């Protein structure tokens, strides 16, 4: 099958297929005599796997690790559990960051409880004051 059909079957774009090939996540397709890429069922399966991992917010490195394990099917699955345990830790850190963000937004919103002029808006004054606060370092795998 050609790249467009692969993209359609896996609900992604042609550009995404090419990107995953360049990144080494998807095996490079063979070429037809007319120099078209030719994909098979193994590409569909692998691309769906990658897309499912991305839906779980996994990084390319995490996906690459899992794909490496898939390519060694006789190995134990303990390393897979480790990848998932680390990813869960990253998700938990991101949730904490988002909770802090939500609290910051609520604190700002609470500064403006009634209609005022823009010049007197508590939210805008709060945003101006925040500029001097040091930024917190993020500790997730996505940066």
Q: Is the model's pLDDT at 32 over the cut of 60? A: yes
- Per-residue pLDDT at 140: 56
Q: Is the model's pLDDT at 137 over the cut of 90? A: no
Give the residue-averaged pLDDT of 51-77.
93
Pull the structure tokens for residue 70. Answer: 């898939």
Give me the sign of the Cα torsion angle 51, 95, 105, 59.
negative
- Per-residue pLDDT at 114: 83
Q: What are phi and psi of 72, to 5 degrees?
A: -125, 70
- Per-residue pLDDT at 28: 87
Q: Is the model's pLDDT at 8 over the cut of 90? A: yes
Please give the mean pLDDT across all residues of the chain: 90
* pLDDT level of residue 130 (50, 70, 90 thresholds): confident
Q: Is the model's pLDDT at 138 over the cut of 80? A: no
In angstroms, the Cα distances linking 20 to 12, 47, 59, 105, 113 are 11, 8, 13, 37, 49
Give the residue-averaged pLDDT of 30-43.
91
If one counts every other C-beta atom within 10 angstroms of the C-beta of residue 72, the result is 9
* pLDDT level of residue 142 (50, 70, 90 thresholds): low
Which distant-in-sequence residues (6+ apart) come within 8 Å of 49 by Cβ? 66, 67, 70
| Angstrom distance (rounded) from CA 104 to CA 106 | 5
Question: pLDDT, tens digit, for every residue of 77-117?
Answer: 999 999 999 999 999 999 999 999 999 999 999 988 888 88
With both helix axes pointing from N to C terminus, report the angle between 122-130 and 78-110 in degrees, rounded to the nearest 10: 130
């Amino acid at each position: 099958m050609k790249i467009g059909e692969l993209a359609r079957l896996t609900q992604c774009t042609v550009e995404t297929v090419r990107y995953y090939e360049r990144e080494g996540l998807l095996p490079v397709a063979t070429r037809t005599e007319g120099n078209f890429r030719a994909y098979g069922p193994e590409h569909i399966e692998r691309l769906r796997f990658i897309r499912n991992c991305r839906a779980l917010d996994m990084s390319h490195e995490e996906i690459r690790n899992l794909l490496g394990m898939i390519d060694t099917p006789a190995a134990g699955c303990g390393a897979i559990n480790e990848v998932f345990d680390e990813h869960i830790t990253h998700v938990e850190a991101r949730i904490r960051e988002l909770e802090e963000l939500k609290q910051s937004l609520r604190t700002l919103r609470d500064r403006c409880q009634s209609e005022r002029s823009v010049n007197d808006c508590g939210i805008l004054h709060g945003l101006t004051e925040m500029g001097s606060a040091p930024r917190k370092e993020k500790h997730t795998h996505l940066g």
